[in-house]
């Protein structure tokens, strides 16, 4: 059985922290699907297609990485793509508490979906998309938090 994992998120924007989690998770799975979730209660700074393109550009040539846009429950997306694993990155203890509650809910909805937590490297602990968006909105330099592809595109 192929080990397929879904890494869900808004990735608004895709950061070096996201890249770190994906890069370290790749050896664990046969395929890693980055799922850009559409959340009607959130108004993203960057369009869905732009975020999809950034991630595709970063991982072009890597056959293990696929990128999709999805709506609805994460477990339903897992069912559609055949994923039995959900990947989540953890920066702080309070991230774990929040993510564990989601993992428990997902498991109650589908007992065949297991959540895998990876802690971020210490240098990425403060890299959160919310903070990066604030830096960008106020004209700050976010280049230290973004992959080159994303940074170049934002600064065009």
Give the span between the Cα atoms of 22 and 27, in whole angstroms: 9
Give the span between the Cα atoms of 26 and 86, in whole angstroms: 13
Can you give the residue range of the structural domain that contains 149? 4-154
Sign, CA dihedral 84-47-60-24, equals: negative
- Clarify whether 91 is annotated catalytic: yes
Give the span between the Cα atoms of 16 and 124, in whole angstroms: 7
- Clarify whether 129 is annotated catalytic: yes
Contact criterion met (CB below 8 Å) for 81 and 42: no
Under the banding of pLDDT at 50, 70 and 90, the label for residue 34 is: very high
pTM: 0.95
Q: Give the model confidence (pLDDT) of 91-146 as tens digits.
A: 988 889 999 999 999 999 999 999 999 999 989 888 889 899 999 999 999 999 99
- The residue annotated as part of the active site, out of 3, 42, 76, 80, is 42
- The residue annotated as part of the active site, out of 31, 64, 91, 100, is 91
Give the span between the Cα atoms of 31 and 121, in whole angstroms: 22
- The residue annotated as part of the active site, out of 19, 51, 88, 129, is 129
| Domain total of the chain | 1
Structure tokens at 42: 């959130």
Residue 135 sits in a domain of what CATH number?
Answer: 3.40.50.620
- Clarify whether 152 is annotated catalytic: no
Give the span between the Cα atoms of 152 and 113, in whole angstroms: 37
């Amino acid at each position: 059985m192929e080990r397929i994992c879904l890494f869900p998120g808004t990735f608004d924007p895709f950061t070096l922290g996201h890249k770190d989690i994906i890069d370290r998770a790749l050896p664990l799975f046969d395929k890693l699907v980055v799922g850009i979730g559409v959340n009607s209660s959130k108004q993203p700074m960057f369009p869905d297609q732009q975020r999809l393109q950034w991630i595709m550009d970063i991982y072009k040539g890597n056959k293990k990485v696929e990128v999709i846009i999805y709506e609805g429950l994460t477990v339903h997306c897992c069912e559609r793509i055949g994923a039995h694993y959900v990947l989540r990155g953890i920066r702080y203890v309070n991230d774990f508490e929040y993510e564990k509650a989601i993992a428990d809910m997902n498991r109650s909805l589908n007992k065949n979906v297991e959540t895998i937590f990876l802690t971020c490297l210490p240098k990425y602990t403060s890299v959160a998309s919310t903070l990066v968006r604030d830096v960008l909105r106020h004209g700050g330099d976010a280049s230290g938090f973004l992959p080159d592809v994303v940074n170049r595109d934002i600064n065009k």
